[in-house]
Amino acid sequence: MLNRSSTASFDAHCLSPRWQEPAIGIVHLGIGNFHRAHEALYTEEAMLVQTGDWGICGVTLQGDVSKRDALMAQGGLYSVVERGPDGVRVTVVRSLREVLAMPFDRARLFELLADERVRIVSLTVTEKGYCRDPQTGDADFTHPGVAHDLAHPDEPGTVPGILCAGLKARRDAGQPPFTVLSCDNLSHNGDALRQAVCSFARRLDPALAAWIETHVAFPSTMVDRIVPATTDADREAAQSALGVRDEVPVPCEPFRQWVIEDRFPAGRPAWETAGAQLVDDVAPFEIAKLRMLNATHSTLAYLSMLAGFETISDAIGHAALRKLIHAMMAREIAPTLAVPASFDLAAYRDALLNRYANPALKHRCAQIAMDGSQKMPPRILSTITARLDAGQPIERLALAVAAWFTFLRGRADDGTRYAISDPLAARLTRAAESADTPEHLVDALLAVSDVFPAALAGNPALREALVGAATKLASGALAAIEEYANLD
Protein backbone atom coordinates (compact mmCIF):
# COMPACT_ATOMS: atom_id res chain seq x y z
CA MET A 1 0.00 0.00 0.00
CA LEU A 2 1.13 3.56 -0.71
CA ASN A 3 2.56 5.17 2.44
CA ARG A 4 5.22 7.59 3.58
CA SER A 5 7.78 4.86 4.10
CA SER A 6 7.54 3.66 0.50
CA THR A 7 9.64 6.50 -0.88
CA ALA A 8 11.69 4.20 -3.04
CA SER A 9 8.53 3.28 -4.91
CA PHE A 10 7.26 6.74 -5.58
CA ASP A 11 10.06 9.32 -5.55
CA ALA A 12 10.46 8.97 -9.30
CA HIS A 13 6.85 9.95 -9.76
CA CYS A 14 6.99 13.03 -7.51
CA LEU A 15 8.26 16.42 -8.54
CA SER A 16 11.25 16.05 -6.23
CA PRO A 17 12.43 13.43 -3.75
CA ARG A 18 13.73 16.25 -1.51
CA TRP A 19 10.79 16.93 0.78
CA GLN A 20 10.61 18.50 4.23
CA GLU A 21 7.45 17.41 6.02
CA PRO A 22 5.47 20.61 6.68
CA ALA A 23 3.31 21.49 9.66
CA ILE A 24 -0.36 22.09 8.98
CA GLY A 25 -1.02 25.63 7.76
CA ILE A 26 -4.22 25.05 5.76
CA VAL A 27 -7.49 23.45 6.86
CA HIS A 28 -9.63 22.47 3.90
CA LEU A 29 -13.35 21.82 4.25
CA GLY A 30 -14.64 19.38 1.63
CA ILE A 31 -11.83 16.91 0.93
CA GLY A 32 -13.14 15.63 -2.39
CA ASN A 33 -11.43 14.62 -5.59
CA PHE A 34 -11.36 18.15 -6.97
CA HIS A 35 -9.39 19.59 -4.07
CA ARG A 36 -6.92 16.73 -4.16
CA ALA A 37 -6.30 17.24 -7.90
CA HIS A 38 -6.15 21.03 -7.63
CA GLU A 39 -5.31 23.07 -4.51
CA ALA A 40 -3.46 20.24 -2.78
CA LEU A 41 -1.30 19.65 -5.86
CA TYR A 42 -0.61 23.36 -6.37
CA THR A 43 0.35 23.56 -2.69
CA GLU A 44 2.70 20.59 -2.94
CA GLU A 45 4.45 22.09 -5.97
CA ALA A 46 4.68 25.50 -4.31
CA MET A 47 6.36 24.03 -1.23
CA LEU A 48 8.91 22.27 -3.42
CA VAL A 49 9.96 25.65 -4.81
CA GLN A 50 9.58 27.77 -1.67
CA THR A 51 9.40 25.76 1.53
CA GLY A 52 6.98 26.61 4.31
CA ASP A 53 4.53 25.10 6.74
CA TRP A 54 1.58 24.77 4.39
CA GLY A 55 0.59 21.18 5.03
CA ILE A 56 -3.12 20.54 4.65
CA CYS A 57 -5.67 19.02 6.99
CA GLY A 58 -8.64 17.91 4.89
CA VAL A 59 -12.10 17.67 6.45
CA THR A 60 -15.04 15.72 5.11
CA LEU A 61 -18.35 17.19 6.26
CA GLN A 62 -20.53 14.28 5.18
CA GLY A 63 -20.28 12.13 8.30
CA ASP A 64 -18.65 9.33 6.30
CA VAL A 65 -15.38 8.08 7.76
CA SER A 66 -14.44 5.88 4.78
CA LYS A 67 -12.48 8.60 2.96
CA ARG A 68 -10.72 9.66 6.16
CA ASP A 69 -9.79 6.10 6.99
CA ALA A 70 -8.59 5.25 3.48
CA LEU A 71 -6.39 8.33 3.22
CA MET A 72 -4.98 8.10 6.73
CA ALA A 73 -4.17 4.40 6.20
CA GLN A 74 -1.77 5.75 3.54
CA GLY A 75 -0.46 8.55 5.77
CA GLY A 76 -2.33 11.12 3.70
CA LEU A 77 -0.55 10.10 0.50
CA TYR A 78 -2.43 9.59 -2.75
CA SER A 79 -1.72 9.77 -6.45
CA VAL A 80 -3.02 12.10 -9.13
CA VAL A 81 -3.65 10.22 -12.38
CA GLU A 82 -3.59 12.69 -15.27
CA ARG A 83 -5.23 11.24 -18.37
CA GLY A 84 -4.63 12.98 -21.67
CA PRO A 85 -4.37 12.22 -25.37
CA ASP A 86 -0.66 11.52 -24.92
CA GLY A 87 -1.14 8.95 -22.15
CA VAL A 88 -1.23 8.73 -18.37
CA ARG A 89 1.01 10.55 -15.87
CA VAL A 90 0.95 9.58 -12.18
CA THR A 91 2.17 11.91 -9.43
CA VAL A 92 2.18 11.24 -5.68
CA VAL A 93 0.98 14.14 -3.52
CA ARG A 94 2.32 14.58 0.01
CA SER A 95 0.86 17.94 1.08
CA LEU A 96 -2.14 16.30 2.79
CA ARG A 97 -1.01 15.75 6.37
CA GLU A 98 -4.22 14.78 8.14
CA VAL A 99 -7.85 13.96 7.32
CA LEU A 100 -10.82 14.47 9.65
CA ALA A 101 -14.47 13.46 9.44
CA MET A 102 -17.25 15.54 10.95
CA PRO A 103 -18.75 15.18 13.47
CA PHE A 104 -16.43 12.45 14.77
CA ASP A 105 -13.30 14.61 14.83
CA ARG A 106 -14.87 17.88 15.97
CA ALA A 107 -12.43 18.47 18.84
CA ARG A 108 -9.39 18.07 16.59
CA LEU A 109 -10.87 20.35 13.94
CA PHE A 110 -11.44 23.17 16.42
CA GLU A 111 -8.02 22.62 17.95
CA LEU A 112 -6.58 23.33 14.49
CA LEU A 113 -8.86 26.29 13.76
CA ALA A 114 -7.71 27.88 17.03
CA ASP A 115 -4.03 27.31 16.18
CA GLU A 116 -2.49 30.50 14.79
CA ARG A 117 -0.17 28.40 12.62
CA VAL A 118 -3.28 27.63 10.54
CA ARG A 119 -3.45 30.71 8.32
CA ILE A 120 -5.90 29.62 5.61
CA VAL A 121 -9.22 27.77 5.74
CA SER A 122 -10.22 26.81 2.20
CA LEU A 123 -13.38 25.19 0.91
CA THR A 124 -14.77 23.02 -1.88
CA VAL A 125 -18.22 22.16 -0.56
CA THR A 126 -20.30 22.92 -3.71
CA GLU A 127 -22.94 25.64 -3.90
CA LYS A 128 -25.35 23.87 -1.56
CA GLY A 129 -22.69 23.62 1.15
CA TYR A 130 -22.84 27.37 1.79
CA CYS A 131 -26.40 27.07 3.16
CA ARG A 132 -27.36 30.36 1.51
CA ASP A 133 -30.80 31.80 0.86
CA PRO A 134 -30.78 31.99 -2.95
CA GLN A 135 -32.88 35.16 -2.93
CA THR A 136 -30.90 37.22 -0.42
CA GLY A 137 -27.46 35.60 -0.34
CA ASP A 138 -27.57 35.53 3.47
CA ALA A 139 -27.39 32.31 5.43
CA ASP A 140 -30.61 30.35 5.03
CA PHE A 141 -32.11 30.54 8.50
CA THR A 142 -34.79 28.00 7.55
CA HIS A 143 -32.08 25.40 6.85
CA PRO A 144 -32.17 22.77 9.63
CA GLY A 145 -28.39 22.74 9.93
CA VAL A 146 -28.19 26.52 10.24
CA ALA A 147 -30.96 26.53 12.85
CA HIS A 148 -29.07 23.84 14.78
CA ASP A 149 -25.82 25.79 14.68
CA LEU A 150 -27.46 28.96 15.96
CA ALA A 151 -28.98 27.03 18.85
CA HIS A 152 -25.77 25.04 19.51
CA PRO A 153 -22.86 27.26 18.38
CA ASP A 154 -20.30 25.03 20.10
CA GLU A 155 -21.37 22.01 18.03
CA PRO A 156 -21.65 23.38 14.49
CA GLY A 157 -22.03 21.24 11.41
CA THR A 158 -22.57 23.76 8.60
CA VAL A 159 -19.96 25.88 6.85
CA PRO A 160 -21.22 29.21 8.33
CA GLY A 161 -21.38 27.67 11.79
CA ILE A 162 -17.93 26.07 11.62
CA LEU A 163 -16.24 29.21 10.30
CA CYS A 164 -17.92 31.45 12.87
CA ALA A 165 -16.94 29.13 15.71
CA GLY A 166 -13.33 29.01 14.51
CA LEU A 167 -13.10 32.75 14.01
CA LYS A 168 -14.70 33.40 17.40
CA ALA A 169 -12.02 31.27 19.04
CA ARG A 170 -9.32 33.35 17.29
CA ARG A 171 -10.93 36.64 18.35
CA ASP A 172 -11.44 35.54 21.96
CA ALA A 173 -7.78 34.45 22.19
CA GLY A 174 -6.56 37.75 20.75
CA GLN A 175 -5.08 35.98 17.73
CA PRO A 176 -5.19 37.15 14.12
CA PRO A 177 -7.82 35.42 11.99
CA PHE A 178 -7.26 32.93 9.24
CA THR A 179 -8.04 33.83 5.63
CA VAL A 180 -11.16 32.11 4.24
CA LEU A 181 -10.61 30.90 0.68
CA SER A 182 -13.53 29.61 -1.39
CA CYS A 183 -12.56 27.33 -4.29
CA ASP A 184 -16.11 26.47 -5.39
CA ASN A 185 -17.75 27.14 -8.75
CA LEU A 186 -19.86 29.98 -7.39
CA SER A 187 -20.10 33.48 -8.80
CA HIS A 188 -18.08 35.93 -6.67
CA ASN A 189 -17.39 33.01 -4.37
CA GLY A 190 -15.40 34.97 -1.79
CA ASP A 191 -18.04 37.67 -1.47
CA ALA A 192 -20.82 35.06 -1.41
CA LEU A 193 -19.15 33.15 1.41
CA ARG A 194 -18.44 36.35 3.31
CA GLN A 195 -22.10 37.36 3.17
CA ALA A 196 -23.29 33.95 4.35
CA VAL A 197 -20.82 33.88 7.25
CA CYS A 198 -21.38 37.47 8.35
CA SER A 199 -25.17 37.18 8.22
CA PHE A 200 -24.94 34.04 10.38
CA ALA A 201 -22.59 35.82 12.79
CA ARG A 202 -24.97 38.79 13.13
CA ARG A 203 -27.72 36.44 14.35
CA LEU A 204 -25.29 34.81 16.74
CA ASP A 205 -23.20 37.72 18.01
CA PRO A 206 -23.25 41.18 16.34
CA ALA A 207 -19.85 42.04 17.81
CA LEU A 208 -18.35 38.91 16.23
CA ALA A 209 -19.91 39.84 12.90
CA ALA A 210 -18.34 43.31 13.09
CA TRP A 211 -14.93 41.78 13.88
CA ILE A 212 -15.19 39.38 10.94
CA GLU A 213 -16.26 42.16 8.57
CA THR A 214 -13.28 44.28 9.66
CA HIS A 215 -10.50 41.72 10.00
CA VAL A 216 -11.18 38.60 7.90
CA ALA A 217 -10.20 38.34 4.22
CA PHE A 218 -12.42 36.34 1.84
CA PRO A 219 -10.56 36.41 -1.51
CA SER A 220 -12.43 35.11 -4.54
CA THR A 221 -10.99 32.49 -6.85
CA MET A 222 -11.64 30.84 -10.19
CA VAL A 223 -10.78 27.16 -10.38
CA ASP A 224 -10.75 24.87 -13.39
CA ARG A 225 -9.88 21.24 -13.87
CA ILE A 226 -12.05 18.35 -15.00
CA VAL A 227 -11.94 15.73 -12.24
CA PRO A 228 -14.17 12.65 -12.67
CA ALA A 229 -15.02 10.12 -10.00
CA THR A 230 -12.36 7.50 -9.23
CA THR A 231 -12.71 4.09 -10.86
CA ASP A 232 -10.94 0.75 -10.52
CA ALA A 233 -9.11 1.60 -13.75
CA ASP A 234 -7.52 4.59 -11.98
CA ARG A 235 -6.39 2.36 -9.10
CA GLU A 236 -4.87 -0.05 -11.59
CA ALA A 237 -3.10 2.77 -13.45
CA ALA A 238 -1.63 4.09 -10.20
CA GLN A 239 -0.46 0.64 -9.12
CA SER A 240 1.11 -0.01 -12.52
CA ALA A 241 3.05 3.27 -12.35
CA LEU A 242 4.03 3.17 -8.67
CA GLY A 243 4.44 -0.49 -7.93
CA VAL A 244 2.29 -0.12 -4.80
CA ARG A 245 -1.46 -0.04 -4.26
CA ASP A 246 -3.22 3.33 -3.89
CA GLU A 247 -6.83 2.93 -2.78
CA VAL A 248 -7.71 6.61 -3.29
CA PRO A 249 -6.12 7.95 -6.50
CA VAL A 250 -7.64 10.97 -8.24
CA PRO A 251 -8.14 11.00 -12.04
CA CYS A 252 -8.09 14.29 -13.91
CA GLU A 253 -7.26 15.96 -17.19
CA PRO A 254 -3.80 17.50 -17.75
CA PHE A 255 -5.24 21.03 -17.94
CA ARG A 256 -5.62 23.07 -14.77
CA GLN A 257 -6.17 26.73 -13.91
CA TRP A 258 -6.37 28.71 -10.69
CA VAL A 259 -6.95 32.47 -10.57
CA ILE A 260 -6.79 33.98 -7.07
CA GLU A 261 -7.37 37.46 -5.66
CA ASP A 262 -4.14 38.17 -3.82
CA ARG A 263 -5.52 39.12 -0.36
CA PHE A 264 -3.87 36.98 2.33
CA PRO A 265 -3.01 39.07 5.42
CA ALA A 266 -1.63 36.01 7.23
CA GLY A 267 0.42 34.81 4.27
CA ARG A 268 0.02 32.05 1.69
CA PRO A 269 2.01 29.43 -0.23
CA ALA A 270 3.88 30.61 -3.32
CA TRP A 271 1.14 29.22 -5.55
CA GLU A 272 2.26 31.38 -8.46
CA THR A 273 5.42 29.24 -8.72
CA ALA A 274 3.11 26.32 -9.56
CA GLY A 275 1.26 28.24 -12.24
CA ALA A 276 -1.56 29.96 -10.34
CA GLN A 277 -2.48 33.50 -11.42
CA LEU A 278 -2.56 36.03 -8.57
CA VAL A 279 -4.72 39.01 -9.58
CA ASP A 280 -6.50 42.04 -8.17
CA ASP A 281 -9.91 41.06 -9.55
CA VAL A 282 -10.93 37.52 -10.42
CA ALA A 283 -14.39 38.44 -11.74
CA PRO A 284 -13.68 38.50 -15.52
CA PHE A 285 -11.99 35.09 -15.38
CA GLU A 286 -14.68 33.65 -13.11
CA ILE A 287 -17.59 34.80 -15.25
CA ALA A 288 -15.95 33.53 -18.44
CA LYS A 289 -15.42 30.12 -16.89
CA LEU A 290 -18.90 29.88 -15.41
CA ARG A 291 -20.58 30.85 -18.66
CA MET A 292 -18.30 29.19 -21.20
CA LEU A 293 -17.21 25.98 -19.45
CA ASN A 294 -19.70 25.31 -16.66
CA ALA A 295 -22.77 26.31 -18.67
CA THR A 296 -21.87 24.15 -21.65
CA HIS A 297 -20.86 21.29 -19.34
CA SER A 298 -24.35 21.37 -17.81
CA THR A 299 -25.93 21.66 -21.25
CA LEU A 300 -24.04 18.60 -22.45
CA ALA A 301 -24.99 16.71 -19.29
CA TYR A 302 -28.75 17.29 -19.49
CA LEU A 303 -29.03 16.69 -23.22
CA SER A 304 -26.89 13.57 -22.85
CA MET A 305 -28.98 12.16 -20.02
CA LEU A 306 -31.98 12.38 -22.35
CA ALA A 307 -30.21 11.20 -25.50
CA GLY A 308 -28.24 8.37 -23.89
CA PHE A 309 -24.62 9.60 -24.01
CA GLU A 310 -22.81 8.33 -20.92
CA THR A 311 -19.73 10.57 -20.90
CA ILE A 312 -18.82 14.07 -22.01
CA SER A 313 -16.41 12.73 -24.62
CA ASP A 314 -19.20 10.55 -26.04
CA ALA A 315 -21.48 13.59 -26.18
CA ILE A 316 -19.04 15.98 -27.83
CA GLY A 317 -18.16 13.24 -30.32
CA HIS A 318 -21.68 13.57 -31.73
CA ALA A 319 -21.23 16.02 -34.60
CA ALA A 320 -24.50 17.91 -34.16
CA LEU A 321 -24.03 18.26 -30.40
CA ARG A 322 -20.49 19.57 -30.84
CA LYS A 323 -21.79 22.07 -33.42
CA LEU A 324 -24.52 23.17 -31.01
CA ILE A 325 -22.09 23.72 -28.13
CA HIS A 326 -19.66 25.61 -30.41
CA ALA A 327 -22.48 27.90 -31.58
CA MET A 328 -23.77 28.42 -28.04
CA MET A 329 -20.35 29.61 -26.88
CA ALA A 330 -19.59 31.70 -29.97
CA ARG A 331 -22.97 33.32 -30.58
CA GLU A 332 -24.82 33.46 -27.28
CA ILE A 333 -22.26 33.30 -24.45
CA ALA A 334 -19.08 35.04 -25.65
CA PRO A 335 -20.89 38.29 -26.58
CA THR A 336 -21.95 38.69 -22.92
CA LEU A 337 -18.37 38.62 -21.60
CA ALA A 338 -16.06 41.53 -20.84
CA VAL A 339 -12.57 40.07 -20.47
CA PRO A 340 -9.03 41.51 -20.49
CA ALA A 341 -7.55 42.09 -23.94
CA SER A 342 -5.11 39.25 -23.33
CA PHE A 343 -7.99 36.76 -22.91
CA ASP A 344 -8.62 35.15 -26.32
CA LEU A 345 -12.21 33.90 -26.09
CA ALA A 346 -12.07 32.05 -29.42
CA ALA A 347 -8.97 30.16 -28.32
CA TYR A 348 -10.58 29.45 -24.94
CA ARG A 349 -13.69 28.10 -26.70
CA ASP A 350 -11.64 25.79 -28.92
CA ALA A 351 -9.57 24.59 -25.98
CA LEU A 352 -12.75 23.70 -24.09
CA LEU A 353 -14.07 21.67 -26.99
CA ASN A 354 -10.77 19.79 -27.18
CA ARG A 355 -10.81 19.14 -23.43
CA TYR A 356 -14.37 17.80 -23.64
CA ALA A 357 -13.25 15.42 -26.38
CA ASN A 358 -10.54 13.82 -24.21
CA PRO A 359 -11.58 10.13 -24.33
CA ALA A 360 -9.33 9.15 -21.44
CA LEU A 361 -11.32 11.00 -18.76
CA LYS A 362 -14.65 9.17 -18.90
CA HIS A 363 -16.35 12.12 -17.17
CA ARG A 364 -19.86 10.84 -16.52
CA CYS A 365 -22.75 13.07 -17.53
CA ALA A 366 -24.76 11.84 -14.54
CA GLN A 367 -22.14 13.32 -12.20
CA ILE A 368 -22.27 16.73 -13.88
CA ALA A 369 -26.10 16.68 -13.90
CA MET A 370 -26.28 16.73 -10.09
CA ASP A 371 -27.49 19.80 -8.16
CA GLY A 372 -28.94 21.62 -11.15
CA SER A 373 -31.00 23.98 -9.00
CA GLN A 374 -27.77 25.35 -7.54
CA LYS A 375 -25.82 25.41 -10.79
CA MET A 376 -28.43 26.78 -13.20
CA PRO A 377 -28.56 30.41 -11.93
CA PRO A 378 -24.83 31.27 -12.11
CA ARG A 379 -24.03 29.08 -15.11
CA ILE A 380 -26.91 29.70 -17.51
CA LEU A 381 -29.60 32.03 -16.14
CA SER A 382 -27.11 34.89 -15.69
CA THR A 383 -26.26 34.68 -19.40
CA ILE A 384 -29.93 34.48 -20.36
CA THR A 385 -30.62 37.60 -18.30
CA ALA A 386 -27.80 39.48 -20.01
CA ARG A 387 -29.05 38.42 -23.45
CA LEU A 388 -32.65 39.35 -22.71
CA ASP A 389 -31.62 42.73 -21.29
CA ALA A 390 -29.78 43.41 -24.56
CA GLY A 391 -32.74 42.25 -26.67
CA GLN A 392 -30.75 39.31 -28.07
CA PRO A 393 -31.97 35.77 -28.89
CA ILE A 394 -31.55 32.94 -26.39
CA GLU A 395 -32.64 29.85 -28.33
CA ARG A 396 -29.65 27.60 -27.51
CA LEU A 397 -29.52 28.72 -23.89
CA ALA A 398 -33.25 28.07 -23.63
CA LEU A 399 -32.67 24.56 -24.96
CA ALA A 400 -30.24 23.96 -22.09
CA VAL A 401 -32.81 25.03 -19.49
CA ALA A 402 -35.58 23.05 -21.18
CA ALA A 403 -33.31 20.00 -21.22
CA TRP A 404 -32.91 20.38 -17.45
CA PHE A 405 -36.68 20.67 -17.06
CA THR A 406 -37.19 17.50 -19.12
CA PHE A 407 -34.35 15.70 -17.32
CA LEU A 408 -36.16 16.27 -14.00
CA ARG A 409 -38.81 13.75 -15.05
CA GLY A 410 -36.20 11.08 -14.34
CA ARG A 411 -36.27 9.15 -17.60
CA ALA A 412 -34.29 9.18 -20.83
CA ASP A 413 -35.85 9.17 -24.28
CA ASP A 414 -35.49 5.39 -24.45
CA GLY A 415 -37.31 4.95 -21.14
CA THR A 416 -34.23 4.37 -18.97
CA ARG A 417 -34.83 5.64 -15.44
CA TYR A 418 -32.27 7.56 -13.39
CA ALA A 419 -32.24 9.26 -9.99
CA ILE A 420 -32.35 13.04 -9.51
CA SER A 421 -29.70 14.28 -7.07
CA ASP A 422 -30.52 17.86 -6.07
CA PRO A 423 -31.23 19.75 -2.84
CA LEU A 424 -34.67 20.58 -4.27
CA ALA A 425 -35.24 17.16 -5.83
CA ALA A 426 -38.63 16.49 -4.26
CA ARG A 427 -40.13 19.81 -5.38
CA LEU A 428 -38.56 19.76 -8.82
CA THR A 429 -39.47 16.19 -9.72
CA ARG A 430 -43.01 16.63 -8.42
CA ALA A 431 -43.43 19.71 -10.63
CA ALA A 432 -41.88 18.02 -13.68
CA GLU A 433 -43.74 14.72 -13.39
CA SER A 434 -47.14 16.40 -12.88
CA ALA A 435 -46.87 18.46 -16.10
CA ASP A 436 -48.66 16.88 -19.05
CA THR A 437 -47.67 19.39 -21.76
CA PRO A 438 -44.53 21.40 -22.56
CA GLU A 439 -46.38 24.57 -21.52
CA HIS A 440 -47.30 23.08 -18.16
CA LEU A 441 -43.75 21.81 -17.65
CA VAL A 442 -42.28 25.25 -18.28
CA ASP A 443 -44.82 27.07 -16.10
CA ALA A 444 -44.44 24.60 -13.23
CA LEU A 445 -40.67 24.96 -13.08
CA LEU A 446 -40.51 28.70 -13.72
CA ALA A 447 -42.61 28.96 -10.56
CA VAL A 448 -39.75 27.57 -8.46
CA SER A 449 -38.62 30.89 -7.01
CA ASP A 450 -35.51 29.38 -5.42
CA VAL A 451 -34.15 29.05 -8.96
CA PHE A 452 -35.94 31.70 -11.03
CA PRO A 453 -36.24 35.31 -9.77
CA ALA A 454 -39.70 36.73 -10.37
CA ALA A 455 -38.54 39.22 -13.01
CA LEU A 456 -36.89 36.48 -15.07
CA ALA A 457 -39.67 33.96 -14.57
CA GLY A 458 -42.21 36.51 -15.77
CA ASN A 459 -40.32 37.43 -18.93
CA PRO A 460 -42.54 36.42 -21.88
CA ALA A 461 -39.58 36.03 -24.25
CA LEU A 462 -38.01 33.48 -21.92
CA ARG A 463 -41.24 31.52 -21.54
CA GLU A 464 -41.78 31.46 -25.30
CA ALA A 465 -38.24 30.18 -25.94
CA LEU A 466 -38.53 27.55 -23.21
CA VAL A 467 -41.89 26.27 -24.44
CA GLY A 468 -40.48 26.00 -27.97
CA ALA A 469 -37.44 24.08 -26.76
CA ALA A 470 -39.46 21.81 -24.46
CA THR A 471 -41.81 21.03 -27.33
CA LYS A 472 -38.89 19.99 -29.54
CA LEU A 473 -37.42 17.87 -26.76
CA ALA A 474 -40.72 16.06 -26.32
CA SER A 475 -40.07 14.52 -29.76
CA GLY A 476 -36.58 13.38 -28.73
CA ALA A 477 -33.34 15.02 -27.66
CA LEU A 478 -31.37 13.95 -30.73
CA ALA A 479 -33.86 15.59 -33.08
CA ALA A 480 -33.84 18.77 -30.99
CA ILE A 481 -30.04 18.83 -30.94
CA GLU A 482 -29.95 18.53 -34.73
CA GLU A 483 -32.42 21.38 -35.20
CA TYR A 484 -30.79 23.76 -32.71
CA ALA A 485 -27.30 23.00 -34.02
CA ASN A 486 -28.37 24.34 -37.40
CA LEU A 487 -30.05 27.56 -36.32
CA ASP A 488 -28.97 30.61 -38.30
The residues of the chain that CATH labels 3.40.50.720 are 7-279
CATH number attached to the domain at 7-279: 3.40.50.720
The residues of the chain that CATH labels 1.10.1040.10 are 283-485
- Asked if 307 and 299 count as a contact pair (C-beta separation under 8 A), the reply is no
> How far apart, in whole angstroms, are the C-alpha atoms of residue 413 and residue 411?
7
- Asked if 54 and 269 count as a contact pair (C-beta separation under 8 A), the reply is yes
Question: What does the pLDDT average to over 354-367?
Answer: 92
**CATH class for the domain made up of 283-485:** mainly alpha
Question: What does the pLDDT average to over 303-313?
Answer: 97
pLDDT at residue 14 in the model: 47
Residue 19 has pLDDT above 90, yes or no: no
pLDDT at residue 8 in the model: 41
Question: What does the pLDDT average to over 239-255?
Answer: 95
- Asked if 144 and 85 count as a contact pair (C-beta separation under 8 A), the reply is no
- Residue 20: band (very low, low, confident or very high) from pLDDT cuts 50, 70, 90: confident
pLDDT at residue 5 in the model: 65
Counting other chains too, the contacts that 202-210 makes at CB distance below 8 Å and 24 or more residues apart are: 203/139, 203/141, 203/150, 204/150, 204/153, 204/164, 205/168, 208/164, 208/167, 208/168, 208/171
> How far apart, in whole angstroms, are the C-alpha atoms of residue 86 and residue 147?
51
pLDDT tens digits, 109-139? 999 999 999 999 999 999 899 999 988 999 9
- Residue 12: band (very low, low, confident or very high) from pLDDT cuts 50, 70, 90: very low
Mean pLDDT score of the chain: 94
pLDDT tens digits, 32-52? 999 999 999 999 999 999 999
pLDDT tens digits, 134-185? 889 999 999 999 999 999 999 999 999 999 999 999 999 999 999 999 999 8
3-class SS of residue 62: coil
Residue 6 has pLDDT above 60, yes or no: no
- Whole-model pTM? 0.83
DSSP states along 109-145:
HHHHHT-TT--EEEE--TGGGG-B-TTT-SB-TTSHH
Question: What does the pLDDT average to over 384-389?
Answer: 98
- Residue 340: band (very low, low, confident or very high) from pLDDT cuts 50, 70, 90: confident
Pairing of strands 179-182, 221-224: unpaired
pLDDT at residue 368 in the model: 96
Question: What does the pLDDT average to over 417-424?
Answer: 97
Report the percent of the chain where pLDDT is more than 90.
90
Residue 195 has pLDDT above 80, yes or no: yes
> How far apart, in whole angstroms, are the C-alpha atoms of residue 409 and residue 72?
41
pLDDT at residue 440 in the model: 98
